[in-house]
Amino acid sequence: MKAKALVTVLVVVFAMAMMLGCAKVPQADLDAAKAALDAAKAAEVDRYLPELFNAVKDSLNSATAEIEKQNSKFALFRSYKKVKELLAKVTADANDAVNQVAVKKEEVKTEVEGLMAQVAPAVENVKGLMKKAPRGKEGRAALEAINSELAAVEASVAEANTAMTNGDFLTARDKVQANLQKLASLAQELQAAIDKKLGR
Amino acid sequence: MLYEYNRYAKPAKPAPPEKNWFLIINLVLALVLGTISLIVQFSNKPPVARFDEARRDVARARQLQAAVYAPDQLRMAEHYLEQSRLMWASENQRWMYHRNFSRVETMAQKASDMAEYAAMRSVTLRDSLRWVAATGINLTKKRIADIRSQFADMPMEGQVRQQIAFSELAIYESEEAFKRGDFRRAVARYQIASKKIGSAGDEVTQILNGYFVNAPKWRKWVQQTIRWSAEKNEPVIIVDKLAHRCHVYRNGVKTAEFPVELGPNWLGHKRQRGDGATPEGLYHVKRKKSGHRTAYYKALEINYPNAEDVAQFRAAQARGDIARNAGIGGLIEVHGDGGKGANWTAGCVALRNRDMDTLYSMVGEGTPVTIVGSLRGISTAYSENSAAPDGKGQNTAK
């Protein structure tokens, strides 16, 4: 009787060990991690926070390598605990990156909106200075030239608006800053002409 | 009762030995575990270290911005890494003893090699783009500044000015992209700036080439005028429109030079009334004016239009280049009230009043006035032209 009980216990232990040893790849976790990385890419994490994106991508590669490492082991000795941890981290980091990029984008967007708000007054300033600038024979050609350049700036402002609408905030920022620089130089040129006229 | 030996009796069956289950199971387990150990021991090991190294190499390439500067190579490295993983997964499907990871290792090595190449290419290209962008930005800015300063007073179509403005905007954008380390965009934007300023420069060059078609004629006029001055020991006035300078010669020797301002459309010969152009040709002072006789301090009215101007005007009208009801214009003068820093006259030549005083005293009615596009050839005219009407030109009267 004693022996039979022992055999039963051993068989059960062996069966449990086999069952545990045949642990399955955490496919759902893997799919979730891949989806989270795809979502991060779609959110342009790779553009706005490239280092973060690279780290998450590498973590996923590391997790898939760990899966194969475990798969290479004898069924009894496989354990996907570490894989699950890694994949959970990938998913969490990717989700966190999406949140961070949203914040970053919002920051850039706010910055660009702030810069854009300066464009209209700068254009008005140039137009105001044009009214004050020498308009006689000696000023006509110069004013025409400045008008042509102002038209170029206004075309570029339209491009910046398009970039902004398309969510390309970095390009919009470059363009708006360029526009402001150009408007400042036009204002400076006009101010110099006005000062000269006034004999300052 | 005594035990009685019966030799014919069947011997008693010995009791079967009791089975030792514990021992049997242990032996079986030991055998199983031993077999497993042997299989594990003698099976090929998965290339964990090799694969991890390849993965790290790919990550390093990414870190070095290969996604931006060597995207094709990085994609290839990632593809090899994935292939290596798939091969590994495929080998894992086989029975342990039959697994062969050599292809996995080879592919991982390929991934490593390609990742290293991507990293190296990325660094090289990034450094090279940084250099190209920095150099390109500086050169383009210099070119824009040159064109702006050299041709600031040249009558240009609004379109050309817009090209210059677009070029400036693109170069500013390039600088912004450079600041945030996006060298690829910085290069792309500076190239647009360079193209636009190049196209503006080409248009200006084309205009100048057309302008300088008359250079031989101008040279002849100038030589003829100076020779006349030498022969007659008389003063002559020579106006260089491109340089915005008025020269006075006496006895064939230059005795004075003044900065001048012209009409807004000074580039080219005057064709008709109201075109804002300053005529080119051999003229003379028809009348000296001062006081209430001129609105511009003092004036030397020249005999525009001369016979050649009239002939040209009529020919242009006959060709239909000029409207039938257009006039040829007149009352072209060398006068005062200059120094405004712009080409503002209706086609006259304006000097600062103090220069006009000097000139007025040097010449008389009948003094030849030769107006030419330039005293120099096109190759040197613009490199040396610094006499824009900024009102700061120096009078060099002797």
Reported as a single tens digit per residue, the pLDDT across B233-248 is: 999 999 999 889 999 9
Least CB-CB distance to A64: which of B56, B85, B165? B85
How many angstroms separate the CA atoms of A141 and B341, rounded? 12
Assigned domain for B187 exists: no
Q: Are residues B222 and B110 in the same domain?
A: no
- For residue B101, pLDDT over 50 is answered with yes
Q: What band does B197 get if pLDDT is binned at 50, 70 and 90? A: very high
Q: State whether A109 and A99 are in the same domain.
A: no
Low-confidence ranges of chain A (pLDDT < 70): 1-8, 10-22, 136-139, 199-200
Is residue A4 situated within a structural domain?
Answer: no
Residue at A2 is within a domain: no
**pLDDT score at B16:** 67
Alpha helix locations (H) across chain B?
Answer: 21-42, 48-63, 66-69, 71-92, 102-150, 158-179, 183-211, 215-232, 307-319, 353-362, 378-384
Confidence grade of residue B398 (pLDDT, cut at 50, 70, 90) = very low
* CB-CB contact of B307 with A104 (8 Å): no
Q: Which pLDDT does position A1 carry in this prediction?
A: 55
**What is the rounded CA–CA span in Å between residue B304 and residue B314?**
15
pLDDT at B392 over 70: no
- pLDDT-derived band at B389, boundaries 50, 70, 90: very low
CA distance A68 to chain B (A): 6
Give A117 to chain B, closest Cα distance, Å: 18
Query: Does B191 fall in a domain?
Result: no
Among B94, B123, B152, the domain-final residue is B123
Residue A160 domain flag: yes
* Domain end marker among A72, A103, A134: A103
Put simply, the answer to whether B92 touches A68 (Cβ < 8 Å) is: yes
- Please name the residue of chain B whose CA is at the shortest distance from the CA of residue A136: B344
Count of the separate structural domains present in chain A: 2
Report the percentage of chain B scoring pLDDT > 90: 49
A19-69 pLDDT, tens digit each = 555 678 899 999 999 999 999 999 999 989 999 999 999 999 999 999 999
**CATH number of domain containing B250:** 2.40.440.10
Q: List the domain range (segments joined by +) for residue B73.
A: 30-123
Is the pLDDT confidence value at B134 over 80? yes
Co-location of B372 and B233 in the same domain: yes
* CB-CB neighbors (< 8 A) of B91 in chain A: 72
Using the Cα atoms of residue A107, residue A112, residue A115 and residue A116 in order, give the sign of their dihedral.
negative
Band (pLDDT 50/70/90 cuts) for residue B229 is very high
Q: What is the pLDDT of residue B387?
A: 41
Identify from B344, B345, B390, B392 which residue to disrupt to test chain A contact, counting A C-beta atoms within 10 A and taking the largest count.
B344
Query: What does DSSP assign to residue B15?
Result: P
Last residue of a domain, one of A65, A81, A103: A103
Domain contains A183: yes
Q: Give how far A170 is from chain B: nearest CA, Å.
A: 9
Among B123, B153, B186, which residue terminates a domain? B123
Q: Model confidence at B344, in pLDDT bands (50, 70, 90)? A: confident
CA distances from B389 to A106, B75, B145, B323, B360 (A): 50, 59, 17, 32, 20
Mean pLDDT of chain B: 86
Whether residue A72 sits in one domain with residue A16: yes
Nearest CB neighbour to B92, from listed A3, A72, A138: A72
B297: in domain: yes
Q: Which domain holds residue A178?
A: 105-198
Same-domain status, A111 and A191: yes
- Which residue, of A41, A71, A103, is where some domain finishes? A103
Regarding whether A115 and A85 lie in a shared domain, the answer is: no
Q: What is the mean pLDDT of residues B156-168?
A: 84
Domain count within chain B: 2
Residue B116 covered by a domain: yes
Cβ-Cβ pairs closer than 8 A, A with B, add up to 135
pLDDT bracket for residue B37 (50, 70, 90): confident
Q: Examine the domain organization and report whether A115 and A98 are in the same domain.
A: no
Residues A141 and A190 placed together within one structural domain of the fold: yes
Question: Of the candidates B77, B92, B123, which is a domain's last residue?
Answer: B123
Task: Flag whether B136 is in a domain.
Answer: no
Q: Is A3 among the domain residues?
A: no
For residues A16 and A80, membership in a common domain is answered with yes
- Of B38, B54, B145, B146, the residue nearest B96 (C-alpha): B38
